[in-house]
Amino acid sequence: MAMRGSPRHRVQGNPLGGILRNLERQARSTTTGTARSRTPTVRVPPAEAEPGPRGLPGPPGRPGIAGDATVVVTGKDGRARWQYSESFAVAPVITAVAVDPDPGGEQTVTVALEEVEAAYAVVRVWRTRPRRGQGVALPADAGVSVHMAAMRRPQ
């Protein structure tokens, strides 16, 4: 037995019915706007010319944030110490991201800042494994890379 009407009539009160109704209207419409004629665009390569005179210099910008960055590798206890190339006046803002040596494994790595001084920073990498009810965190083995960046604190 055949059913009369389009899907929009069979799904009363369903938001999908409204979408189907709008699609049906757009399909039947003869003025979609795509049939308008467009003037063809002809691209002409620019003429080779001499550059003009240099303009006036712009206003001076804000001073940049002085910083330092490196990649350190953990030791046997999961710690890594980074001595900055230049000491800061006060302890800088530190960013540290550990690179998981086994991304497909069950354990993940997490890095924690242990010490941040004006001349150096110490991080420790932990391997964490999910466990029902409680997680397990152990210091990472030697050889885990940590990408670190230090930036001067804004005034």
Taking the CA atoms of 97, 98, 99 and 103 in sequence, report the sign of the dihedral they define.
negative
Rounded Cα distance, 52 and 81, in Å? 53
Please name the CATH architecture into which domain 67-151 falls: Sandwich (2.60)
Taking only the tens place, the pLDDT of each residue in 65-120 is 678 999 999 999 999 999 999 899 899 999 999 998 888 888 889 999 999 999 99
Structure tokens at 88: 């800061």
Domain range list for the chain: 67-151
What is the model's pLDDT at position 64? 67
Task: Give the Cβ contact number of residue 5 at 10 Å.
Answer: 7
pTM: 0.56
Q: Where are the alpha helices (DSSP H) in 13-151?
A: 15-28
